[in-house]
Every structure is written in structure tokens, then in C-alpha cells.
Amino acid sequence: MRALGRALRELAAQPLDDFMEVLRRKILEHESEKLSWLDGQLQLDEAPAFWRSDVEQFLANARESLTQPDFDLPLDLKAGRTPDEARALMQQLFLRYGALLEEWPAMVEATRSLRERGVGLVTRR
């Protein structure tokens, strides 16, 4: 957990352009694999026509989305922000999530220790 957190923090600590380049490359790699797999599924004769139609539409939409300049941004970060603001926020989220993951084992251990001593974190009425 700590190693994953450290890796995310190190990624997010890069200059924004470098951070985004790594993410864009990973997104394109992941999406290409997914689209290739779905293309392969369409080659199977057993696929029902309604499913085939849905997948073909999904593939067309996904391919179109990947040509957009903001393909690298999650939809929930786009709302009310410029692409640059959304990218900066995403970098901060990676940094903060990485820090959380680095501390997670210590939080689990502290919780376990409190529980063993009979100290609860929630007060029940």
C-alpha cells in the first residue's frame, strides 16, 4: 500500500505536463486494449444482434472520444472547470490519494490497537 501511495505521489510530483503525458499514455494504452478486446468479441458468431449493435455504437463513441483534446479528463472533473483547472485538480487528487495510501497501514494498525484496548471510534446511543 505504501509503495503504491509513494508511486502515485511521485507521479503527481512531476511538472503538470509530464504528469499528464504519463496519464494520457496509460489511458490510450488501456482504452486500446479494451477496444481491441471488444472488436475481437464482435468477430464471434454467437454474439446476439442487439449486443453487437450496442458494442459497435460504444466503439464508435469511444474512438471519437479519444480524438478530443480533453479525452484524458474524467467527466466529473470537467464540470465547472477549464481543462487546465481540471488537470491541475487531478494532479492534486493523485498527490493526496498517494499520501493517504502511504499512511493507510498506520491507520489500520492504530485502529486495530484501539479496538484491542476496547476504545471504539463510534459512539452509539
Asked if 12 contacts 97 with a C-beta cutoff of 8 angstroms, the reply is no
Which residues does 94 contact at the CB level (< 8 Å), separation at least 6? 8, 9, 11, 12, 19
Ordered per-residue pLDDT tens for the chain, 125 residues: 999 999 999 999 999 999 999 999 999 999 999 999 999 988 887 878 898 999 999 999 999 999 999 999 999 999 999 999 999 999 999 999 999 999 999 999 998 999 899 888 776 66
Is 125 among the domain residues?
no
pTM of the model: 0.77
Residue ranges making up the domain that contains 59? 2-116
Task: Look up residue 122 and give its DSSP letter.
Answer: S
Is 124 among the domain residues?
no
Is 72 among the domain residues?
yes
Is 122 among the domain residues?
no
Which residues does 64 contact at the CB level (< 8 Å), separation at least 6? none
Q: Pick from 108, 109, 81: which is nearest to 93 by CA?
A: 81
Asked if 41 contacts 48 with a C-beta cutoff of 8 angstroms, the reply is no
Is 86 among the domain residues?
yes
